[in-house]
Structure formats: structure tokens, C-alpha cells
Structure 1
Amino acid sequence: MNRYLVILLRRPHFDPAVVTLHQQFLEDLRAQGRNEMSGAFGDKSGGAYLLRAESMEEAIDIAHRDPAHTSGGWDITVYAWHAH
């Protein structure tokens, strides 16, 4: 599996109630061995997680199931991650 960095930036109208759903989504990914690490940015503007997937298409599909995305409250960008 490949690694993908998922960056989430909160939009001004994000719903704070979705944060709990987003955190549960990340926990579910961790249980599946797909979320290597995740965390919030210090300024509370958003966060990131390191996702394991077979392809960019699969990574985007998974990220787009994240409640942060489906709620419309965050901008989400997925990057292929080639760690050394």
C-alpha cells in the first residue's frame, strides 16, 4: 500500500459537532490499518492524517467519505506521500 497525506482546512462555516464524527472516522481507519497518524494543527485551522491506500483514486475515495468532507465544512486535499 502507498501513503497519502490528507490535509483538512476548516471553512468559516464548519459545524463543530462534526469533529466527533471525523475523529471516529479516523479511529475506524486506524483499526483497519489505514491511518498511520493524525492530528490537529496548533492554530485549530484544521489537521492532517497519513492514509494508506492502493492508489490515489482509492485515497481520494476514502477521504471523500470523511464526515469532514461530506459535511462541507472542510477543504480536503490529498497528496501522494513519498517518505524517506
Structure 2
Amino acid sequence: MNRYLVIALRTPEFDPAVIGPHCHFLDKLRADDRVELSGPFSDKSGGAYLLRAATLDEATTIAHGDPLHLSGASKLTVHEWHAK
């Protein structure tokens, strides 16, 4: 599996009610050993998580299932990450 950094930046439509469903989404990914790290940015502009997937397309598909993306609360970008 490859690693992908998913960056979520809040949009003007951000609703704090989406945080619960987003955390549940990440918990399910953790249970499937798909998420290594996750957390919010200290400035409250969004957050990031490190996702495991076979391809960029798979990682993007997974990330686009995040309630943050589905609700329009955050703009998600997915970047292949080669950690050393």
C-alpha cells in the first residue's frame, strides 16, 4: 500500500455538526488499517490524515466518501506521499 496525505480545508459552508460523522468515517478507516495519523490544524482552518491505498485513484475515491467532502464543509486534496 502507498501513503496519501489528505488535506481538508474548511469552506465558508463549514458546519461543526459534520465533525462527528467525519470522526466516525476516520474510525472505520482506522479499523481497516487505512489511516495512520489524523488531526486538526491548530488554527482551526481544517486538518489532515495519512491514508493507505493502492493507487491515487483509490485514495481519492476513499477521501471523497468523507462527510467533510460530501457535505461541502471542506475542500479535500489528496497527495501521494513518499515518506522517508
Same fold by TM-score greater than 0.5: yes
Q: Percent identity at matched positions?
A: 62
- Please give the alpha-carbon distance, in whole angstroms, between the structure 2 residues aligned to 1:30 and 1:54: 16
- Mark the runs of 5 or more structure 1 residues left unpaired by the alignment: none
**One-letter code of the match for 2:5?**
L
> TM-score with structure 2 length normalisation?
0.98
Cα RMSD, aligned residues only: 0.5
Q: Which residue does 1:71 correspond to in 2?
A: 71
| Structure 2 residue 19 is the aligned partner of structure 1 residue 19 | yes
* Alpha-carbon distance, 1:43 to partner: 0.5
* Alpha-carbon distance, 1:50 to partner: 0.1
Q: 3-state SS of the aligned residue for 2:23?
A: helix
Q: Which residue does 2:58 correspond to in 1?
A: 58
> TM-score with structure 1 length normalisation?
0.98
- Please give the alpha-carbon distance, in whole angstroms, between the structure 2 residues aligned to 1:29 and 1:11: 23
- Mark the runs of 5 or more structure 2 residues left unpaired by the alignment: none
1:21-76 CA deviation, whole Å, 9 max, x = no partner?
A: 00110011000000001000001100000000000000000000000000011010
| Structure 2 residue 69 is the aligned partner of structure 1 residue 37 | no
Q: 3-state SS of the aligned residue for 1:12?
A: coil
Q: Which runs of 4+ in 1 moved over 4 A?
A: none
- Please give the alpha-carbon distance, in whole angstroms, between the structure 2 residues aligned to 1:69 and 1:13: 11
Q: 3-state SS of the aligned residue for 1:83?
A: coil
Question: How many residues in Structure 1 have an aligned counterpart in Structure 2?
Answer: 84
